[in-house]
Amino acid sequence: MKIRITHYGEPDDSTPDSNTRAWIGNHGNTLNVSSCALTVTAEDLLARTVPGRIVGDSHIGPLHLAPGALLKITFSEKLVFFRTFDDRAPETEPRVDLFNPFDNLPPGLADYAEVEVVA
């Protein structure tokens, strides 16, 4: 599914927090260069694509992915990232926030990408 992509954790991040600066995720885990954060709505939308997660229409409330779930983020045929769900992004819209502590993402990265849970 197509989801908005942003990034965080750069040295000049305009909204830093102490955990991000210390490479700590939202559940006490260590962030790494393959980490990403999800908003609650993005996590719910992605969890609904995992086979066997919903039976009928009876589920109420957001669904969750396991910490460390592997996401495939496809910008184009030649630009694909694999990232682990290791942090929580502030809720503004369904969004995947790429941890980018060395400010080394490709320039001109698209605002949206196809995102799927692969493990």
Residue closest to 3 by CA, chosen among 97, 66, 83, 68: 97
Question: Rounded mean pLDDT of 60-87?
Answer: 93
Give the number of residues written for the chain.
Answer: 119
Domains of the chain: 2-117 (2.40.40)
Query: What pLDDT, in 10s, does the model give residues 9-65?
Result: 999 998 889 999 999 999 999 999 999 999 999 999 999 898 766 555 555 677 889
- In this predicted structure, what is the pLDDT of residue 19? 96
Residue closest to 85 by CA, chosen among 25, 20, 10: 25
- In this predicted structure, what is the pLDDT of residue 101? 97
Helices (H), the chain: 18-21, 40-47
CB-count burial class (<10 Å; 0-12, 13-18, 19+) for 7? middle
Q: Which two tokens stand for residue 9?
A: 């954790």
Share of the chain above pLDDT 90, in %: 81
Q: State the average pLDDT for the chain.
A: 92
pLDDT of 116 higher than 70: yes
Question: Rounded mean pLDDT of 97-116?
Answer: 96
Q: pLDDT tier at 109 (50, 70, 90 boundaries)?
A: very high
For the chain, the C-alpha Rg in angstroms (whole number) is: 14
- Listed in sequence order, the residues at least 6 apart from 98 whose beta carbon sits closer than 8 Å to its beta carbon are 5, 6, 7, 8, 36, 73, 81, 83, 105
**8 or 63: which leads in pLDDT:** 8
* Chain CA centroid to CA 65, Å: 11
